[in-house]
Chains A and B, each alone.
Chain A
Amino acid sequence: MNTRSIRFRLTVWYAGLLAALLLLFGTSIYLGLRHYLNQSLNESLSRQARQIGEGFLIDIATGGEGYVISEINEHYAPELNNRFVRVTRADGSVLYVSGKPKESGFDPSAVPVLNPSTGRAFLREVHQPGSELLIYTMPFTEREGKRFLVEVGAPYEQVENVLRGLLLALGLGLPLTVVVAISGGYLLIRRALDPVAEITRSAEQITSRNLSQRLPLAHTGDELERLSIALNRMIGRLEESFQYMQRFSADASHELRTPLTVLRGELEALAHRQRLDLEVHETIGSALEETERLSRIVENLLTISRLDAGEAQVEHARLDLAELAVNTTEQMRLLAEDKKITLDCEANGRVDIDGDRARLKQVVVNLVDNAVKYTPEGGAVRVKVEAAKGIAVLIVEDNGGGIPAEALPHLFERFYRADKARSRQMGGTGLGLAIAKSIVTAHGGQLMVESKEGVGSRFRVELPLDDKRTDNDG
């Protein structure tokens, strides 16, 4: 799982937040309930103590101690209600103490007797093995001035039982809630993000060659629809500026042609004059050569911008790449021999592809010419054509000086020259490889290069094979 995906992070955040909130909620319920239960226990203990005092003890002089004892038993039945009740006389002797409760484990007789001289009511806790008592102690003075200590207590158990039940409910319920919420949230996020995956897929398919395409719109009216609309507008603007760029190179090429025509025509007219001294002749010739090169650059730029725009008229016909390579190499043999470079072409049988013969021939010419130019005397250039796995492969390799690694990524860029001084001296336009690349790309193929300095370079053209009828019997 991709832990950096929005889906994962949102789910984690969401789950963490929910768990924290639920924990806070559970804790406050627990604390609140405990507070409330303690409070009400305190209140009921003090109320009962007061009732014992003000209801029965106050009349002890007239009713006698037996009356008080029977009244307490009758009204409060401490054993049945799990209560502890004790009335102590001023001298410390016990007037009344409740018996062992029916359902609780504390022992009333084991509760230590207090000094009855206490002047104020107070709460205390008494620990007994297996039980804990909360006891409200209240001094009381009856009408004739006799002092008593009234104690009413109850075990904590009841409060604890309730709290334990709550804790259990929370302990089981909260994690379950979190789990359900996480899975629900995960599914929701996935549903919400599915269109993003769709947008990503479509956006990845858009390149400079199909800028007219747009992303599919999810008509959901939500942020994602707005996102795809915004992306589409951006693609639109890209398309515009791309078209502008292409129109610009096309227009610029057209505009340059007229002055170039004039320049060339007038220089040529001069060059044909007989009575010029040698220096002027040389200068005119040199100017003409540059004019020629300028024309070629303009021409090539226009060709590239058309190919890249998909406007070029790439004719489609079935052709044998092997035969094309063999013939072209043959035509260029003298070029190689002139530099004492051996040039051979290896091809076994037909390799049929669908394409524009003249343009593909230009690819072979440019690659072989490039290889011959950059291979020193005595070197070798090999051309190889083969068909492999539905792909027609044309390889042009040399054992020349190779190309520096830092130059490789830029090799097919317009006007890129790996060895600036040298290539300009050779009269190139700096566009040969860029054109080859554009042609191959326009044919739905790829042009790659690998090179090692001092060992040589290898250019590899891959084109879709037209395998409807390819046979290898040559």
Chain B
Amino acid sequence: MRILLIEDDEKIARFITKGLQAERFAVDVAGDGRGGLEMATTWNYDLIILDLMLPVLDGTEVLGRLRTVNEQVPVLVLTARDTLTDKVTHFEAGADDYLTKPFAFAELLVRARALLRRGAVSRANVVRVADLELDRLSQQVRRGGIKIELTSKEYALLEYLMLNAGRVVSRTMIIEHVWDQSFDGATNIVDVYVRHLRNKIDDPHGRKLIRTVRGVGYSISDEETA
């Protein structure tokens, strides 16, 4: 998978590049709008990540011109502006998704993956992490074959964690997917729910699956925690 990153801030470009490379993507970087547009129209990319505030040629302009040539390639917009009008304008101009700075890298990764496999929605009905099993049709959860009763919020939280198994999801991502943005703020609602979920999923078992990455978020995996 080849990704083009058009971002003028070198440091941002660097950590995104590193992060994406660690996930085994090939990344090209363009430092300004004109160079980025040139590369985007010359090569075949699977995804373009576009910052909006760019020197030489503004991101919005880049997006507009790109769409006259290539309607297919998914574009993820990075923006420091997040008014509704901005969002609407960008979707109208042909952006497929947007991310407001500052963002968690995990979130960028999730959105990038979602754009890359868009169209292919074939997901398994049963998701497994170690001996934990989640059936998305019957909404039943078992660990080691024993059924675990969960409230609907706990189920939604576990489902989100398991669909992103092996990756760290931030509190903001959890809130946006399981609750809604109104809860983003000071509430520690995510921590409370994760603790309740742990009580049911992990506590009766020797092996802990839910892991806290301090300052980043939570992840579920069958890797042995350090």
Contact = CB atoms under 8 A, between A and B. Distances in A.
A356 to B, nearest CB: 10
B196 interface: yes
B185 A362 contact: yes
Contact of A265 (B16, B80, B84): B16
Interface stretch (A147-155, A178-186, A227-235, A285-293): A285-293
Interface stretch (B42-50, B117-125, B187-195): B187-195
Contact of A258 (B15, B101, B196): B101
A254 B181 contact: no
Contact of B12 (A265, A306, A328, A331): A265
A282 interface: yes
Contact of A288 (B12, B15, B214): B214
User: Which residue, B83, B186, B196, B226, has most C-beta atoms of chain A within 10 A?
Assistant: B186
Given A258-B80, A266-B11, A429 B180 contact: no
A365 B187 CA distance: 8
Interface string A434-454: 010000000000000000000
B182 A358 contact: yes
Interface string B137-152: 0000000000000000
Interface string B5-45: 00001011001101100100000000000000000000000
Interface stretch (B90-98, B102-110, B201-209): B102-110
A131 B105 CA distance: 121
Interface in A330-368: 331-332, 334-335, 338, 358-359, 361-362, 364-366
A300 interface: yes
Interface in A238-271: 254, 257-258, 260-269, 271
B189 A335 contact: yes
Interface bin, chain A: 35 or more
A296 B9 CA distance: 22
Given A258-B80, A313-B83, A335 B187 contact: yes
A284 interface: yes
B15 A281 contact: no
A334 B83 contact: no
Contacts of A74: none
Nearest to B105: A268
B213 interface: yes
Contacts of B104: 264, 268
- Closest 6 A-B residue pairs measured CB to CB? A288-B215, A285-B214, A265-B15, A285-B215, A313-B84, A361-B182
Interface of A: 254, 257-258, 260-269, 271-272, 274, 281-282, 284-289, 291-292, 295-296, 300, 306, 311-313, 328, 331-332, 334-335, 338, 358-359, 361-362, 364-366, 369, 426-429, 432, 435
